[in-house]
Amino acid sequence: MTRSLEEVRDWARAKIASGEEPPWAWFQYMKLIETLDAILGGQASITTMENLPQSAQHQDAHLRLVDSSYRPDTVQSHPDTVSIPMPM
């Protein structure tokens, strides 16, 4: 997919370089190029992050259950209804 995005970006650059496009089309091609640059740059950073050694360390970590430190008879209860003042 990366190759296809690069081909579309090259095509848009060629259209701009021709100098034959109307101003509104030139602007659209520029937005397309900027968007493709951002997507391709984002894909490169994801690939880099996946290869970091920290990701292997987190795979060995497990969640553990923790018991509550509050006793049920000492926990403050919440009111069943909340009155909200309405403007008149």
pLDDT in tens, 5-23: 999 999 999 999 999 988 8
pTM for this predicted structure: 0.49
pLDDT on residue 82: 76
Q: Please give the Cα distance from 65 to 50 (Å, whole number).
A: 28
pLDDT on residue 25: 92
Q: Would you kindly state where each structural domain of the chain is located, as residue ranges?
A: 2-48
More confident site: 54 or 14? 14
Q: Is the pLDDT of residue 65 over 70?
A: yes
Rg (the chain; Cα; Å): 28
